[in-house]
Chains A and B, each alone.
Chain A
Amino acid sequence: MTILELQSVSKSYGKTAVLQDVSLKVEPGEFVAIVGFSGAGKSTLVSLLSGLQQPDKGSALFKGEPITGPGPERGVVFQNYSLLPWLTVFQNILLAVEQVFETKSKQQQAEHADRYVAMVGLTHARDRRPHELSGGMRQRVALARALAAEPEVLLMDEPLSALDALTRATLQDELERIGRVSGKTILMITNDVDEAILLADRIVPLSAGPAATLGDSYCVDIARPRERVALNHDPHFREVRSSLIEYLMSTKKKKSAPSREIATPPMQAQPELSV
């Protein structure tokens, strides 16, 4: 059974079409990465799946039911962490735990939260506030908060793109492990082709905006656990990588021509207005 589905979804802000005719199916337990240029509408895609926004056309479905709003069964890791700065690491995670496991006792809730603090290796920083943490640590907290709610699906909006290369690599390995061990359905948005190949079972490229749409998906048949060093010599890795980049670049070229045409009508309209 399909767990997440987009059926020819379109979304625009004002007159700018962001997503056009986007269709996607995610099966349970799959790790899907969506790769695209920044500003192409990747975050909008996550907003639609999380229920923070509604599509203009088409429908977003969770287990076959239309998504009408956010819910704890779809955990979200935001690009900018979105931790509450006045709460400690533990309290940020506890907030999610309290909400999802209302019926548990205070003690059980605290233990549950602590388990996830430990899972992302932050027990030593349990009582620190976000501003005392590095970017990588903050993103770990955000990840722990999302996972602590034990969602059926994890939606990640460029979770690592704000990090430096080394921290990013460490966290990629960690995400790979968490994805493998938890067996959760994960949908990750990224602008990094290598990251997508390292982590995902399947990669769906998002064409350049405006009016971006999803291309054909690429299956990544590389055995897990994946080693980033070994990966560089894997012929399948190279093949997927080059065809992905080729596809993305070709959509960029196509888009730059008509986008100029779009820009012209208002320019012509201007003299009429001033008369």
Chain B
Amino acid sequence: MSREAAVAPATTAREEEMASSVSKGAVPRLSLLALPFLGVLAVVALWALVSSTVVQSLPSPWKTWETSRPYIIEPFEKRGELDQGILRFTWYSLVRVAKGYGIALLFGVPVGFLLGVSNAFRSSFDPIIQILRPVSPLAWLPLGLVIFGKPEPAGVFTIALCSMWPTVLNTALGVRSVPQDYLNVAKVLKLSRAKTLRKVLLPSALPYMFTGFRLSLGIAWLVIVAAEMLTGAPGVGGFLWQEYNALIYEHIILCILTIGTVGFVLDRMMGAVEKRLRTA
């Protein structure tokens, strides 16, 4: 009975997949590339129109390109502390994100496991987590500055604190969703607690955890800009704020596009790993 129920969604999912691949096949391959290109073109045209008519202070696409060119052509160039290639700035930001994100995972996974395994722990800490979760990075950063006294650790602290929650909650969900059947197998085989954790709980919860990791990385990248803007640290967000103050508005757009592209690439990379785990 339960098996039939488990099989049914799988077949419908496969049917959907087939249906979608059929509809994809119906669209000529050319338009798969051409349509997104047309979309981009339309947005750029609108941008050009707006910048030349309504909002004169908005840099035009062409002017943005002209001004940004040295930063894109020589992306790793270092001409001065505040004047570096865009990928060099991106690299600084990525390193900062990696630190904060690493700390987030380091704390988030065990906390999530405890929330998933122990009802007492969940009852104790779930309310406080729900309260801390929606707090904006802009609110955490000053507190980080107070605690650490220096902008760099304060930024990392903010990233870690803000990006931790999806990992915590998804890990907890993953652990709670381990099928009773698998736990029964562990019981019947008399696996030790450590072995049950390693051989049953962890692999079973891993796909959920990875969804958490992916969401966390997205947030970590979202927070970086705010953290750098407020601390003035060199990075893509710091550059953006500095160029705003220097009245070079073209670079704001360059930074926005860079942040978006990097975020997109990161998400796709995590998505690819996640997909592999799901089929396992």
Contact with A along B1-14 (1 / 0, CB 8 A): 11110100000000
The answer to whether A85 touches B280, judged by C-beta atoms less than 8 angstroms apart, is yes
What are the residues of chain A within 8 A of B279 when measuring CB–CB? 131
B residues 178-209 near A (Cβ < 8 Å) are 181-182, 184-185, 187-191, 199-200, 203-204, 206
The answer to whether A72 touches B189, judged by C-beta atoms less than 8 angstroms apart, is yes
Indicate the member of A69, A84, A131 with the most B CB atoms within 10 Å. Answer: A84
What are the residues of chain A within 8 A of B190 when measuring CB–CB? 70-72, 99
A95 at the interface (CB under 8 A from B): yes
The answer to whether B199 touches A95, judged by C-beta atoms less than 8 angstroms apart, is yes
Shortest Cβ distance from A244 into chain B, in angstroms?
23
A129 at the interface (CB under 8 A from B): yes
What are the residues of chain B within 8 A of A99 when measuring CB–CB? 189-191
What are the residues of chain B within 8 A of A95 when measuring CB–CB? 189, 191, 199
Q: Measured between alpha carbons, how far is A50 from B188 in the docked complex, in Å? A: 8
With beta carbons under 8 angstroms apart, the residue of A52, A72, A84 that contacts B203 is: A84
A90 at the interface (CB under 8 A from B): no
Q: Measured between alpha carbons, how far is A217 from B3 in the docked complex, in Å? A: 30
Looking at A28-36, A75-83, A235-243, A245-253, the stretch in contact with chain B turns out to be A75-83
With beta carbons under 8 angstroms apart, the residue of B1, B182, B188, B191 that contacts A52 is: B188
Q: Measured between alpha carbons, how far is A84 from B199 in the docked complex, in Å? A: 9
Question: Quick one: closest B residue to A131, CB to CB?
Answer: B279
User: DSSP class of A's interface residues: helix, strand, loop or mixed?
Assistant: loop
Q: Measured between alpha carbons, how far is A72 from B187 in the docked complex, in Å? A: 10
With beta carbons under 8 angstroms apart, the residue of A69, A70, A74, A86 that contacts B280 is: A86
Q: With contacts A80-B181, A84-B199, A95-B199 known, is A70 near B3, CB below 8 A?
A: no
Contact with B along A19-39 (1 / 0, CB 8 A): 000000000000000000010
With beta carbons under 8 angstroms apart, the residue of B6, B185, B199 that contacts A82 is: B185
Shortest Cβ distance from B188 into chain A, in angstroms?
4
Question: Quick one: closest B residue to A82, CB to CB?
Answer: B181
The answer to whether B280 touches A129, judged by C-beta atoms less than 8 angstroms apart, is yes
Q: How many residues of B contact A (CB 8 A)?
A: 21
A residues 104-140 near B (Cβ < 8 Å) are 129, 131, 135
Contact with A along B110-139 (1 / 0, CB 8 A): 000000000000000000000000000000
A219 at the interface (CB under 8 A from B): no
The answer to whether B191 touches A82, judged by C-beta atoms less than 8 angstroms apart, is no
Q: With contacts A84-B200, A95-B189, A149-B189 known, is A78 near B184, CB below 8 A?
A: yes
A178 at the interface (CB under 8 A from B): no
What are the residues of chain B within 8 A of A38 when measuring CB–CB? 1
A9 at the interface (CB under 8 A from B): no
With beta carbons under 8 angstroms apart, the residue of B187, B204, B206 that contacts A70 is: B187
Shortest Cβ distance from A93 into chain B, in angstroms?
11
With beta carbons under 8 angstroms apart, the residue of B3, B185, B187, B200 that contacts A162 is: B3
A96 at the interface (CB under 8 A from B): yes
Shortest Cβ distance from A42 into chain B, in angstroms?
13
Q: What are 17 A-B residue pairs whose CB atoms fall within 8 Å in the complex?
A: A38-B1, A50-B188, A52-B184, A52-B187, A75-B188, A76-B184, A79-B3, A80-B2, A80-B6, A82-B181, A82-B184, A84-B203, A86-B204, A95-B189, A95-B199, A131-B279, A162-B4
Of all A-B residue pairs in the complex, the 4 with the closest CB atoms, nearest first, are A82-B181, A86-B203, A70-B188, A162-B3
